Amino acid sequence: MSVAAVVFDMDGVLVDSEHVWDAARRELVAETGGTWTDEATHAMLGMSSKEWPVYVRDALRVPLSADEINAEVVRRMRAHYDAALPLLPGAREAVARMAGAFPLGLASSSNRELIDLVLETSGLAQHFAATVSSEEVAAGKPSPDVYLECVARLDVEAAECVAIEDSTNGILSAATAGLAVIALPNSQFPPARGAIARAADLITSLDDLTVERVRASRA
């Protein structure tokens, strides 16, 4: 089967940012007198910006509104990106390589303003025909919504597409939507074995992401 498009995740795939999100949330919880829990980090992986601020407010007992929590964490993320964008090694080359062979989409749990900031700052925006934030759909990952919306905007069928994902919820989101998944496991927050089992292929760096492997993952 031919590949109609490749859809990238952003956090943990193009930018090394999952730990930055984690630190920004931890700092806010500590500063406002909330209570961080052992499961909080993994619970919020893949949540949309409509979901995780509610979790921070209710489960971590931060005495701010969800909108205030969202805005403050995004402010901290923007400051970090403005200081030094943590683009992962090989990201520019991998995106350009894929764009030379396939239409590209991006399906991310990040806020729209952070997606746009990362793509513009890195110079990668020109390569993507469609980008979707999970704040623009009904539910975040592991729901398939963000991937289904992305392939709809690309005007292709999910069953003809390949996703590049790093996390449990991301892999499950893309696989449930019907995309073949190439997993690039996040070293700091590795995906569960059950999620990796849903992937068609496994790579250890973006240098391994070749046109041939993408086509083979959909064969």
The set of catalytic residues is 9, 11
Query: Residue 107: what residue type?
Result: A
Whether the CB-CB separation of 94 and 207 falls below 8 Å is answered with: yes
DSSP code of 88?
P
Q: At what angle do helices 66-83 and 112-122 cross, to 10 degrees?
A: 10
In angstroms, rounded to a whole number, what is the distance separating the alpha carbons of residues 192 and 67?
Answer: 31
Other beta carbons less than 10 A from residue 32's beta carbon: 16
45 is written with which tokens? 């992986």
In angstroms, rounded to a whole number, what is the distance separating the alpha carbons of residues 80 and 16?
Answer: 12
94 is written with which tokens? 């991998």
87 is written with which tokens? 């683009």
Phi, psi of 171 (to 5 degrees): -60, -45
